[in-house]
Structure 1
Amino acid sequence: MLLCICIIYGFSPPVLTGAAKAVTTIKTAVHMYKGQPYIQVSGGNPAITKSINSILKEHTVKVVHTNRAMQQNNNSAWYKTSVKTMYNNQKLLSVVYTDGINYTDDNVGTYISSTYNFDLTTGNRMTLNDIVGTEFKRTNLMSIISQSLQLKYDKGVQIMEKRIYEIPSYYVSEFYYYNKGIIVRFHPTTVAEAAEGFIDVTVPYDQLSDQNTSQTVPKYLDYLRTHVSDYIETEIPYFDGYKIGNVYALSNDEYWEQVEPRYYSIQSYSITPKKVRIYKDRTRYYMWVEGMDDVVEVERLVYP
């Protein structure tokens, strides 16, 4: 009897430590909800898994409901989604939905991308601010994007010239992970012509560091000054927003007309002059006004 007890005790399985339990394979699989796909994860912490799965399925549920509502008004209209797991290393997960929307009979949809990035150890959904949380990192990110768009432009991609140098902050939000950093995604027509589809910019982690990057990543303003011609910095005494046809009188006695159909109204007007930058990129001129996230195309007016 004593011998049997000793043998049983000697072969008892070891108790798993917290670290050993944490190393669990996280798997992803495609499921369907009323004809639309969605991703579900399995493994890991059950509470975290449940929370992530709820978020990922919710996207497709909204697509199904929107598609049904659209088809009630127009049988030819549709709203559909596709989904891919772009990255999964057991600690970070990236799932990307691509939604197509069509309102007309031509069956040609417009497409948007929705990225879902999770910390698998906490279940928290990650945003770009979690990665570039400092002003210096944000400046580096914008410089990297600018240079990448320039390279794509030089290779024949139909990048909009003004987006190479001025990118509104609200355009830079969608991203997904890869093994050495992140990939920032721009929707069609955001930084390039519609035919180019999504534009992805690869951003390595080591280029976003707060240390030892000031010499390798040019400052945003310096990049403008050294890579474009006819660069002007002045002020505008009166400015109440962007509108096509507006004529802007600048402090350097020049007049510039907005020729691009972009509108933005400032409700509270300040009497303090605002800084203005105007630069020529190849054949076009663009103007940026202090406090604005976007630039507009302008042409100079010369009065006799």
Structure 2
Amino acid sequence: MKKVLAAILILSIMFLLFIPINTLSAAQPHKVNTKIHTYNGQKYVQITGGNQQVKDKINKILKSHAVKASQENVELKKQQNYFYRQTTSETKYNNNQRLSIVFKDYYYKGGVHGYEEATTYNFDLKTGSQLFLNNIAKTNKQSVNLFDGIESGLRVKKEVFDDKIRNFPLSKKSSFYYYNDGIVIIFDPYQVGPYVAGFIEVKVPYTKIQSNNTMPFLDLTKDSVKYLKQGKLPGFKEISFGRTLKQVSEALNSKVRESYYESGGLFWIFEGWDYASFNFSEESGRLAYVYLSSRAFPMKGFDDIEKILGKGTRFESTEYEGEFVLTYQFDNVYLEFTSESPKVSVNAIKISKR
């Protein structure tokens, strides 16, 4: 028996020795290893293994972060010799043909303490392409699910500011990294919590992002214009201008939670609908205005909207400093998107019929 086992072992070793090297490596052709390098005191990650072109592409991007940090550090020291920028880097995920690298930069420009920010680089190891949040949340519904998942995660963290639980920054370029079952969103100090809380992270599993959530949202598509011209709200089933408070309540399957006055009149908020306010004309009692927060239409900037609806009218608000507006008119229905900058995601939408 021992002789038989020995013979099998010898044959197995000989078989492995004669397998071509490229056949062995083909099992994981995109597997890479990572290592920390230093450029003028700035830490950055470089990869080895995998496809040569992909490796060069990724390494160039990662090193450029350290080079930029070094250059800015020199400029800061020219202003004051105790000013500085220091960057560190770590590999957060390297599996399933995905790579996540997180840089954390500390800036000091005087005062009690400096400030910190995270920059993430996520790559497809097959192509070397960078991956962003819109590569994960690919549809309007998935973007809403992602927003909802982040909100749920922030809600259970004691250090988060109350007003940021529903009003947090989120765009295609927001910082995140992968884990086996989903992604982790990273918020910088002050973005959603105090400086002492440091970086605040929220896990959102793929199952949440891809869930069949029935919560209505502003589902803008190429076909939305015809619905808007008919006075209907795209994505909001059975909600259209001209409906009464009772009809809207029945369509939402919800009771009125509260109301408030604003410049446009009296607005109503329904239970479970914190992200929408409905205004009914004082004369007719019919739906005239709808205000939506970013939760109903997350991760979309002015450029994204114009790709869907065509070119709109952009201007800086004369009513609120630092607010930018993108407007459309479809017959007697008006859309108004507001943002802190034309380059970042919208934070509010107003839809009205005049």
Is the pair's TM-score, using the shorter chain for normalization, greater than 0.5? yes
Does residue 143 of the first structure (1) align with residue 148 of the second (2)?
yes
SS of structure 2 residue aligned to 1:291: strand
Q: 1:19 offset after TM fit, Å?
A: 8.2
Q: Percent identity?
A: 29
Distance in 1 of aligned mates of 2:131 and 2:79: 37
Q: What is residue 127 of structure 1 aligned with on the other side? A: 132
Residues 183-235 of structure 1 show CA distances to partners (whole Å, capped at 9, x for unaligned) of 011111111122211111101011111xx5326xx55799xx98x96355977
Alpha-carbon RMSD? 3.5
> 165-174 or 132-141, which moves further after superposition?
165-174
> Which amino acid is the alignment partner of residue 166 of structure 1?
N
Q: What is residue 68 of structure 2 aligned with on the other side? A: 62
Distance in 1 of aligned mates of 2:172 and 2:192: 9
Residues 41-68 of structure 1 show CA distances to partners (whole Å, capped at 9, x for unaligned) of 1111111111111111110011111001
Residues 75-90 of structure 1 aligned to structure 2 (within 5 Å): 75-89=81-95
Distance in 2 of aligned mates of 1:190 and 1:266: 21
Distance in 1 of aligned mates of 2:19 and 2:327: 72
Q: What is residue 52 of structure 1 aligned with on the other side? A: 58
Q: 1:166 offset after TM fit, Å?
A: 2.8
Q: 1:35 offset after TM fit, Å?
A: 1.4
Q: What is residue 29 of structure 1 aligned with on the other side? A: 35
Q: 1:18 to 1:220 in 2, by over 3 A?
A: farther
> Which amino acid is the alignment partner of residue 183 of structure 2?
I
| Residue-pair matches, total | 241
Distance in 2 of aligned mates of 1:179 and 1:269: 41
Q: 1:169 to 1:233 in 2, by over 3 A?
A: farther
Q: What is residue 213 of structure 1 aligned with on the other side? A: 212
Q: 1:123 to 1:233 in 2, by over 3 A?
A: farther
Distance in 2 of aligned mates of 1:56 and 1:42: 13
Query: Would the aligned equivalents of 2:134 and 2:172 in 1 still touch at CA under 8 Å?
Result: no
Q: 1:268 offset after TM fit, Å?
A: 7.5
Does residue 189 of the first structure (1) align with residue 213 of the second (2)?
no
Q: 1:263 offset after TM fit, Å?
A: 3.7
Residues 266-277 of structure 1 aligned to structure 2 (within 5 Å): 266=324
Residues 269-289 of structure 1 show CA distances to partners (whole Å, capped at 9, x for unaligned) of 8898979xxxxxxxxxxxxx8
Query: Would the aligned equivalents of 1:77 and 1:105 in 2 still touch at CA under 8 Å?
Result: no
The runs of 5 or more residues in structure 2 that have no matched partner are: 1-13, 219-235, 237-252, 266-278, 283-319, 340-345, 349-354
SS of structure 2 residue aligned to 1:62: helix
* TM-score, normalising length: structure 1: 0.68
Query: Would the aligned equivalents of 2:133 and 2:172 in 1 still touch at CA under 8 Å?
Result: no
Q: 1:80 offset after TM fit, Å?
A: 0.5
Distance in 2 of aligned mates of 1:44 and 1:102: 38
